[in-house]
Copies of this chain bind each other. A is one copy, B any other.
Amino acid sequence: MNKQKVLLVDDEQDILDLIGFNLEKEGFEVFTANNGRDGLELARKNNPDLVLLDVMMPGMDGMETCRELRDDDNLKNVLIAFLTARNEDYSQIAGFDAGADDYIAKPIKPRVLVSRVKALLRRNSGAEIEVKEAPSHGIVIDKERYVVFKEGVQLNLPKKEFELLALLTSAPGRVFTRETILANVWGNDVIVGDRTIDVHIRKLREKLGDDNFKTVKGVGYKFEP
């Protein structure tokens, strides 16, 4: 697997060095820029998986940079996280709708930041759920809002149901073994009985329609529109 690319944009060289060093140590490929314009250029050239943007920068600030990124067809879906300084005028950072995926408050301990970065990338690499385009089956999953739409009707699913659904729909038609389901939704160190899965499947069937969830006896379950 290729290294994942992170673009880091901040006007303080210290920050670039510190965070950059720590991210590289963790196996990321890191690009740095100390202003929005250079950041944009680097982003266009290298197609990063994640952009960490300082909000407050001279010249083009983080929000402006974010907007420009979102305007670029090749980059509009890149992950963007804002670095926000809490001691700075907080008023400037909120209320914008530039399309950030996360906020990360400074100051932050390097290892905390690294784990946030990993979490962000994991969220997006694992189960790739389309939010924008409504798939043909009429079920849309919005992970950001933790909300599911069934033919336009909004449903609020509990966490486990939501995650199970997200898993199954991440590869429609594919059979997920009970083992796989347990590992992904419950985690490897949690021990629950097999019936637990059944019950959650049933709830999904109840809420989203029986026909969408097929049982493959002795193997597992699959989502099929």
Q: Are B217 and A159 touching (Cβ within 8 A)?
A: yes
A:142-170 near B, CB below 8 Å = 143-147, 156, 158-159, 163, 166-167, 169-170
Min CB distance A111 to B, Å, is: 6
> Per-position contact with B for A100-140: 1 when CB-CB < 8 Å, else 0?
10111101110110010000000000000000000000000
**Which one of B89, B102, B112 lies within 8 Å of A89 (CB-CB)?**
B112
Quickly give the copy total for this chain.
Answer: 2
24 A–B contacts, CB within 8 A, in A order: A58-B111, A59-B111, A61-B115, A86-B184, A90-B143, A90-B163, A90-B166, A92-B143, A94-B141, A95-B141, A95-B166, A100-B171, A103-B180, A103-B183, A103-B184, A104-B183, A105-B183, A107-B187, A108-B188, A144-B173, A145-B173, A145-B174, A146-B219, A158-B218
Which chain A residues have a beta carbon within 8 Å of chain B's beta carbons?
Answer: 56, 58-59, 61, 64, 84, 86, 89-97, 100, 102-105, 107-109, 111-112, 115, 141, 143-147, 156, 158-159, 163, 166-167, 169-171, 173-175, 180, 183-184, 187-189, 216-219, 222
